Structure formats: C-alpha cells, structure tokens
Structure 1
Amino acid sequence: MIEKKFDLSDRLEDFAAEIILLYDKKPLSYAGDYLAKQLIRSSCSSALNYGEVLGAGTDKDKINKLRICLKELRECHRNFNIQTKARLFSDDSLMTLKDENDQLIRIIVTSIKNIK
C-alpha cells in the first residue's frame, strides 16, 4: 500500500514502484501484457521526468517538464480505466493506485498553475 508522503519526487517513485510490484508476475493475456508494460512505462516516465523538473533552469522549462509528467499520469489514468472496463482487474484492486494517480495529477496541475 502506498504511504502518503509530502515529497512529490518520492510519491512519484513510490507510485511507479507499486505498479511494477503489481505486475511482477506477467499477465496471462496479450491485452494484460500490453497494458501492463505501457502502464509501467508511463508511471516510470512521470517519476523520471519529475527529476528533470528539479533540474530545470527556467520556469518555462519547468512547466514543459511538468506537462510531460502530467501527460504520463493521465495516460496511467486511461490505462487503469481500460483495464477495469476489460475486467483485467477489478476496480477495487486498483482503487489505491487510481486514487494516488488522481492526487498526483491534481498536484502537478496545481504546480503548473503556481509557476504561471
């Protein structure tokens, strides 16, 4: 279970790690495998790109990097929805990750607004 932290970098890393652990065992279907790999890529990308935000030199560069993080997190959101609708996972089993994903999206959106 994801422990709530205030450090955004840690939260993004923990989110990606929890997804990796969820899919530690390879899904049995083609669709499950495809969506699992994509979800791992997009969740890890959001954490890795946030590292770029921390090193950005200008506000414009920070906003651009944050938008990439946001794009990847929104991709995670859609992926969760597809997996739930396709009954690859129950909505209950993904609830904690979906909630964290939603909170991370809100934090990134607020960060972008605060920089502008």
Structure 2
Amino acid sequence: MNNRIESTNEKEHSKTKSYDFALDVINEVQVIKNNHKEFDLSRQLVRSGTAIGALIREAEFGQTKKDFIHKLSISLKEANETDYWLNLLKDAGLITQESFQELAPKCEELLKMFVASIKTARSN
C-alpha cells in the first residue's frame, strides 16, 4: 500500500509540475510576442511546452501498461523539444537570460522525472 501512495504522489507531482510549467511557458510566450513580435518560434514553444502536461493526463488513463509508457515517452520527447526551443530562443535573444534560467531547470526536472517514471514502469 505504501508503494501505491508514493506512486499516486509522484503522478500528482508530475501533473502539478507540468501544469505549472505550461503556465510559465504561456506567460513567457506572451512576453516574446509583445516585446519581439515573434510568432513562429514562440508558437513552437507553447505547443511543445503545453503538450507535456496534456500527455501526462492521457497517460494517466492509459488502457494498458504499454499505452501508459508510450504516452509518457511522448511527453518526454515534448519536454526535450521544449528544451531545444528554450535554448534557441535564448541564443537568438528572444528570451532573457533570467527567463531562461527560470524555465530551463523546470524543463530539466520534468525530463528527469519522465526518464525515471518510464524506467520504473518498464521494470514493473
């Protein structure tokens, strides 16, 4: 029973973290659009940054273990893509170093959580 509680807490933690991260990404994209009138790259960031949490929600009700792992794997890929867009936008001068230093560690934390969750799910 203790493992189930930890598992539930981990799920809730990843849901909360990914949701909060999506809100942060949305807010940053608004800044990019307002300050730089840039829409194409920021659209990519918001798409991948918000897909992370949506895929976690899908995984939560996966029909099989394989389906659950597949959805988490896609969420991992979206988090990795988000990391790419964050770095590109920083290097292009479209987000500040301060914004990058706020968002990048959160994205990295999500990446690590998904890798660990996928490993755990595969081993069970």
Which TM-score tier does this pair reach, normalised by the shorter chain? 0.7 to 0.9
1:47 counterpart letter in structure 2:
G
Q: Distance in 2 between matches of 1:46 and 1:80?
A: 14
Q: Distance in 2 between matches of 1:66 and 1:53?
A: 6
Once the two structures are superposed, the pairs formed by residues 70-109 of structure 1 within 5 Å of their partners are: 70-109=76-115
Q: Which runs of 5+ in 1 are unaligned?
A: 1-5
After TM superposition, where is structure 1 displaced by more than 6 Å over at least 4 residues in a row? Answer: none
TM-score (normalised: structure 2): 0.81
SS of aligned partner of 1:87: coil
Indicate the percent of aligned positions where both proteins have the same amino acid. 29
Q: Which runs of 5+ in 2 are unaligned?
A: 1-11
1:59 deviates by 1.3
Residue deviations 1:58-79 (CA, integer Å, cap 9, x gap): 2111110001101100000000
TM-score (normalised: structure 1): 0.86
Is 1:23 aligned to residue 35 of structure 2? no
Q: Distance in 1 between matches of 2:28 and 2:91?
A: 18
Is 1:111 aligned to residue 117 of structure 2? yes
State the match for 1:50 in structure 2: 56
Q: Distance in 2 between matches of 1:104 and 1:19?
A: 13
Residue deviations 1:19-41 (CA, integer Å, cap 9, x gap): 11122242434xx3211111111
Q: Distance in 1 between matches of 2:87 and 2:71?
A: 25
Q: Which one has a larger percent helix, Structure 1 or Structure 2?
A: 2
1:86 deviates by 1.1
1:100 deviates by 0.3
SS of aligned partner of 1:81: helix
1:16 deviates by 0.5
Higher Rg? 2
Is 1:63 aligned to residue 69 of structure 2? yes
1:43 deviates by 1.0
CA-atom RMSD in angstroms: 1.4
